[in-house]
Chain A
Amino acid sequence: MEADCRNLRRELGAYLEGEASPELLAHLEHCRHCQNLVEELRSIERAAPQIAETYEPRPALWKQIENAVYAEGLVRERPFSGWFRDLVREWLPLPAPALAAAYLVVLLIAGVVITFRTATPPLPAQQAASPAPPVDIAAELTSAEQTMLAEMERLNPGASPIYRNNLATVNYYIDLCQRTLDQDPGNPDVRHSLDQAYTQKADLLSAMLDPDEMRSR
Chain B
Amino acid sequence: MPSWAGARRFSRLLPGVLILAAFPLYAEHFDRLFSVGGYPLLSLRQISGDVVVRAWNRPEIRVLASVKGSHVVADATQQGSRVEVVSEVVGQHDESKEVVHYEIYVPAESELQLHSHDGLVRVEYVRGDVAIETRTANVELKEVAGHINVKTAAGSLLADRCSGRMEVRSTSGDLKFTEPALAKLTAYTTDGDIAYEGDFQPGGMYNLSNHAGTIELRIPKQASFDLQASSIQGQVTGDVPAVPLAKTWQSPTASPQRLAGRYLTGDASVRLSSFSGTIRIRWK
Contact = CB atoms under 8 A, between A and B. Distances in A.
Interface of A: 54, 158-159, 162-163, 165-166, 169-170, 173, 176-177, 180, 183-184, 186-190, 192-193, 196-197, 199-200, 203-204, 207, 210, 212-213, 216-217
Interface in B94-126: 94-96, 115, 117
Interface string B188-218: 1011000000000000000001011000000
B209 A196 contact: yes
Interface residues of B, number: 36
A184 B45 CA distance: 45
Given A159-B117, A169-B171, A187 B154 contact: no
B209 A216 contact: no
Contacts of B233: 180
A207 B135 contact: yes
20 contacts: A54-B167, A158-B94, A159-B135, A165-B154, A169-B191, A173-B190, A173-B191, A177-B275, A180-B233, A184-B254, A187-B251, A188-B249, A189-B230, A192-B209, A204-B171, A207-B135, A212-B115, A212-B117, A217-B93, A217-B95
The 6 closest A-B pairs by CB, nearest first: A166-B171, A173-B211, A193-B275, A187-B251, A217-B92, A184-B253
Interface in B153-172: 153-154, 167, 169, 171-172
Contact of B211 (A158, A187, A196): A196
A193 B232 CA distance: 9
B133 interface: yes
Contact of B190 (A187, A200, A216): A200
Given A187-B254, A212-B45, A217-B93, A200 B188 contact: yes
A192 B231 CA distance: 12
Main secondary structure on chain A at its contact with chain B?
helix
Contacts of B191: 169, 173
B235 interface: no
Contacts, number: 92
Contacts of A203: 151, 169
Interface of B: 45, 47, 89, 92-96, 115, 117, 133, 135-136, 151, 153-154, 167, 169, 171-172, 188, 190-191, 209, 211-212, 230, 232-233, 249, 251, 253-254, 256, 273, 275
A186 B254 CA distance: 10
Nearest to A159: B135
A192 B273 contact: yes
Given A207-B133, A212-B45, A162 B153 contact: yes
B190 A170 contact: yes
B95 A169 contact: no
A151 to B, nearest CB: 16
Contacts of A200: 169, 171, 188, 190
A166 B154 contact: yes
Contacts of B135: 159, 162, 207, 213
A170 B153 CA distance: 11
B156 to A, nearest CB: 13
Contacts of B212: 173
B171 A170 contact: yes
A69 to B, nearest CB: 25
A207 B153 contact: yes
A217 B151 CA distance: 24
Q: Which of A163, A189, A200: most chain B Cβ within 10 A?
A: A189
B90 to A, nearest CB: 11
Contacts of A210: 115
A165 B172 CA distance: 10
A204 B92 CA distance: 24
B206 to A, nearest CB: 15
Nearest to B134: A207
Given A189-B273, A217-B89, 12 more contacts: A158-B94, A159-B135, A166-B171, A166-B190, A173-B191, A189-B256, A199-B169, A199-B188, A203-B151, A207-B153, A217-B92, A217-B95
Contact of A183 (B45, B169, B190, B253): B253
A92 B94 CA distance: 44
A190 B232 contact: yes
